């Protein structure tokens, strides 16, 4: 239950309200009436609010002027059906009233959580204290930038190694013979940590110096020729670089603690029975 409530809290905390550069003109545009159904206005604000509820991958359908008009027509149809439902007394329907009560509870819970916990945030002192006492969490592991040529057999790998050794460009040989999808990029694997590669590959690659080219290295995927293009030694993320993540993490932790305390207190004020 606590995790469920915290999930709601985190979702609410992530919602940002963007300010307009000219509030008066923005408000005027938002309140412009685009349709009227039996005396009920549909404004630009109503349309934007409904569009925001649509998953992003479908929202683009209504991005054009024509698409927006189509969406307004759908909203008009909904209002017409709503009016007919009112005429047929659906506002007194038992199932409707039950769902309305559930919706009211959900809205009240979300608003209460937002109003109660949105003000709780980790401060600079909290973040610095955590940073200084959890140094291991901010260690940046060593990384290397490497390219490789992957062959199915050892003989093929040895032949590829000889071509590179004789002066052919590593990337050209990779494009020509490597069976790895990275061959299209000249065998480029980019920057990676030791834990991103199989042990045999990582052990060899991290033991090499910049510009070294390895002889065939066997792994479960075949035989690799490795060339190292760059190395980054282990380091520590600075407090400034870690600050944004720390604020999110510690704010969530602080809010969770407050939530737990509140729930424990409420359990003493209201009866709870689990069957």
User: pLDDT tens across 119-152, in order?
Assistant: 999 999 999 999 999 999 999 999 999 999 999 9
Q: What are the domain boundaries of the chain?
A: 23-117, 124-136+237-269, 142-233
pLDDT the model gives residue 26: 53
Q: Exposed, middle or buried: residue 178 (CB in 10 Å: 0-12, 13-18, 19+)?
A: buried
Pick among 2.40.30.170, 2.30.30.110, 3.10.50.40, 3.40.50.300: CATH of 142-233: 3.10.50.40
Percentage above 70 pLDDT, the chain:
90
Where b means 16+ CB within 10 Å and e means fewer, 126-160 reads bbeebbeeeeeebeeeebbbbbbbbbeeeebbeeb
Q: What is the mean pLDDT of residues 177-201?
A: 96
Is 60 exceeded by the pLDDT of residue 210? yes
Q: Is the pTM of this model over 0.85?
A: no
246 in Cβ contact with 131 (< 8 Å): yes
What rounded mean pLDDT belongs to the chain? 89
Give the residues across from 43 on adjacent strands. Answer: 33
Tokens of 94: 């038992």
**Res. 5: pLDDT tops 60:** no
Say how far apart CA 23 and CA 31 lie, in whole Å: 12
Per-residue pLDDT reduced to its tens digit, 83-119: 999 999 999 999 999 999 999 999 999 999 999 999 9
Q: 253: which 2 tokens?
A: 């932790």
Cα Rg of the chain (Å, integer): 30
Is residue 82 pLDDT above 80, yes or no? yes
Give pLDDT, residue 30.
74
Is the pLDDT at 73 greater than 50? The verdict is: yes
Tell me how far apart the alpha carbons of residues 104 and 116 are, in angstroms, rounded to a whole number.
Answer: 18
Could you tell me which residue, 56 or 14, shows the higher pLDDT?
56
Tokens at residue 171, please?
A: 């990337």
Angle at 216 between CA 207 and CA 233, to 5 degrees: 20
pLDDT tens digits for range 216-265: 999 999 999 999 999 999 999 999 999 999 999 999 999 999 999 999 99
pLDDT category, 31, cuts 50, 70, 90?
confident
Residues composing the chain:
275
Q: In the predicted model, is pLDDT for residue 17 greater than 60?
A: no
């Amino acid at each position: 239950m606590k995790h469920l409530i915290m999930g709601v809290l985190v979702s609410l905390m992530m919602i940002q309200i963007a300010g307009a550069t000219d509030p008066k003109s923005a408000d005027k545009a938002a309140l412009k009436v685009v349709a009227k159904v039996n005396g009920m206005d549909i404004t630009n604000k109503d349309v934007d609010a409904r569009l925001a509820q649509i998953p992003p991958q479908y929202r683009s359908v209504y991005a054009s002027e024509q698409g927006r008009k189509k969406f307004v027509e759908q909203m008009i149809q909904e209002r017409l059906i709503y009016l007919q439902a009112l005429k047929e007394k659906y506002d007194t329907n038992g199932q409707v009233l039950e769902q309305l009560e559930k919706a009211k509870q959900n809205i009240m819970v979300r608003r209460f959580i937002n109003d109660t916990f949105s003000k709780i945030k980790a401060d600079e002192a909290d973040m610095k204290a955590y940073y200084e006492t959890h140094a291991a969490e901010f260690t940046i592991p060593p990384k290397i930038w490497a390219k490789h040529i992957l062959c199915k057999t050892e003989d093929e790998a040895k032949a590829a190694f000889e071509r590179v050794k004789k002066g052919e460009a590593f990337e050209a040989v990779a494009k020509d013979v490597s069976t790895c999808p990275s061959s299209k990029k000249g065998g480029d694997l980019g920057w990676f940590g030791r834990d991103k590669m199989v042990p045999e590959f990582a052990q060899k690659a991290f033991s090499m110096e910049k510009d070294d080219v390895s002889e065939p290295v066997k792994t479960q995927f075949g035989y690799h020729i490795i060339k190292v293009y760059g190395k980054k030694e282990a380091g520590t993320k600075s407090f400034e670089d870690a600050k944004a993540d720390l604020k999110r993490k510690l704010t969530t932790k602080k809010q969770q603690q407050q939530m737990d305390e509140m729930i424990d207190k409420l359990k003493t004020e209201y009866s709870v029975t689990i069957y």
